[in-house]
Structure 1
Amino acid sequence: MNRVVLVTGACGGIGSVLCKRFVQEGDKVLALDIDAAALKALAAQLGETQVTPVAVDLGDAAAVQQAVQAAAGVSGPVDVLVANAGAAEGLTLARTDAASWQRDIHLNLNGTYHTVEAIRPSMIEREQGSIVLIGSVNGMAALGHPAYSAAKAGLISYTKSLAIELGRYGIRANIVCPGTVKTQAWQARVDKNPQVFEDLKKWYPLRDFATPDDIADAVLFLASAMARVITGVALPVDGGLMAGNRLMAEELTLESL
């Protein structure tokens, strides 16, 4: 498609697949991550002519602005932003302190804001662009990781603000909310309970979990012309998790669903 696509969290389980899929579409990718060595390896794997590494800490607004502008100055202005970077610390409120709360909010919410601000003026000037944030079902229901969840809930509201304020410029903004995705981020939980995925299946109507490619499918659709009048949408990609609680419904109705 020959677009310029900025992907944050580019070296993670979802981010690296997003970069790969956009390259396969014929796009140039500005791959943003804090890990310079991993970015170099990613660019070598996907093709240095198609992938430009951008090593920067999303928590530093000025550095993000400078890095993105420098990369775009070489590749051209950003047509699509996929704000994917994120991480979670405190599993519960009891295990969350002020410092970990701030880190989760700063990366997941503020880091996304810093990235959008780096590309927003150019998109407004050209009156075109697509912004896709990566949220979480944690932003839609209480599922643990309270600080991370608060940040992801904030991203849903932020997406709607972007949609209503930038729509007049032809810019669309949507958010994809994954449920459980089998990536390296789950390794600590697998180490603690090797049956964790099997145990979780009962909560998912499809009894299956998303892969990074499933998330990429949703992102590529929302970033494409096929979604040209879709904006302000929070799209769960979650095997039906947010549709409702079958186990609770069975206890309420005393019927097998």
Structure 2
Amino acid sequence: MDRFEGYSAFVTGGARGIGAAVVRRLHSEGARVVVADVDDSAAREAFGGVRGVSVVRCDVGDAESVAAAFAYVREELGGLDVLVNNAFARDAMDSPRIEDDPDGGWREQLHVTLLGAVRCARAAMPLLAAADGRGAVVNIGSVNAEAYFGNHAYSAAKAGLASFTRTLAGEVAPRRVRVNQITPGTVATRAWESREEQLAALAARVYPLGRVGTPDDVAAAVAFLASSDAAWITGTTLRVDGGLLAVNTHFGEVLGQP
């Protein structure tokens, strides 16, 4: 299936984890993909030499870095059809008590996780609007935006991203650009390395479908929302969370429900 034959895509945070899975999925369906990551050496290690995939260093927290990355897109690809905002501030995800929660972590999350997506959307929009109705933005959110799972600043930034998804969808719809969001639950990435017992406990006790997610689960959903299969979908959030937000597993356990 080549839903993205002739398409160009830009994926932030594409060197590892969910971002890398998105790159592989879009490329496997025919897209030319630019992998944008602050760790461009890791991106080159993952995708160097793959025909149709190029790498550009991009720090979404830096406006000049974003501008340079999209200048590269215009020069190398000539246009853009799909933007996937996946990058976030990984180093600011500690979850202390609120009285011990410094401003620095909040600034980092808002500056990178939220404003990073805004910067990329701003830079990409003229290209997406010129894509003859194929332009699509897919933001990677989190269940943290909708319920308490710790990490105040990260959760607030992702909630802001959900709001931005809706408002941007309204603004750019007349230009035939669609904007949607994926809301993943727990996904087995490097953030969970050496925590296999915790992942197993989450799968058994918390997730109704009996497992945590994989990067490929998220990538499949991104590919759907970015494709013409979702041509009449904009401003929506698609939960890819194994039923986490819809079903209270512990409530059922207390009541003795199967």
Give the TM-score normalised by structure 2: 0.91
SS in 2 for 1:235: strand
TM-superposed deviation, 1:224? 0.7
**Structure-1 residue corresponding to 2:118:** 113
SS in 2 for 1:91: coil
Identity of counterpart residues, as a percentage? 39
* 2:151 is equivalent to residue 145 of structure 1: yes
TM-superposed deviation, 1:42? 2.5
Structure 2 residue aligned with 1:18, among 1, 7, 22? 22
Give, as a single letter, the amino acid of the residue that structure 2 aligns with 1:7: V
TM-superposed deviation, 1:250? 4.8
CA RMSD in angstroms, aligned pairs only:
1.6
TM-superposed deviation, 1:255? 4.3
Measured in 2, the distance between the counterparts of 1:125 and 1:171 equals 9
Structure 2 residue aligned with 1:85, among 70, 87, 91? 87
TM-superposed deviation, 1:126? 4.3
Superposition pairs for residues 1-150 of structure 1, below 5 Å? Answer: 1-44=5-48, 47=50, 49-86=51-88, 87=90, 88-94=92-98, 96-128=101-133, 129-150=135-156
Number of residue pairs matched by the alignment? 249
**Structure-1 residue corresponding to 2:165:** 159
Residue by residue over 1:37-77, the C-alpha shift from the partner in whole angstroms, topping out at 9 and shown as x without a partner, is 112222325x1x31111102111112201221222321121
Structure 2 residue aligned with 1:185, among 175, 188, 191? 191
Measured in 1, the distance between the counterparts of 2:240 and 2:70 equals 29
Residue by residue over 1:134-172, the C-alpha shift from the partner in whole angstroms, topping out at 9 and shown as x without a partner, is 001111111111100000011111000111111111111
Give, as a single letter, the amino acid of the residue that structure 2 aligns with 1:221: F
Measured in 2, the distance between the counterparts of 1:195 and 1:126 equals 46
**Structure 1: 5+ residue runs without aligned partners?**
none
Measured in 2, the distance between the counterparts of 1:223 and 1:9 equals 17
Measured in 2, the distance between the counterparts of 1:106 and 1:25 equals 33
User: Would you say the 8 A contact 1:31–1:52 is kept in 2?
Assistant: yes
Range 71-80 or range 170-179, more displaced? 71-80
Range 93-102 or range 175-184, more displaced? 93-102
User: Would you say the 8 A contact 1:127–1:169 is kept in 2?
Assistant: no
**Structure 2: 5+ residue runs without aligned partners?**
none
TM-superposed deviation, 1:92? 3.4
User: Would you say the 8 A contact 1:160–1:173 is kept in 2?
Assistant: yes
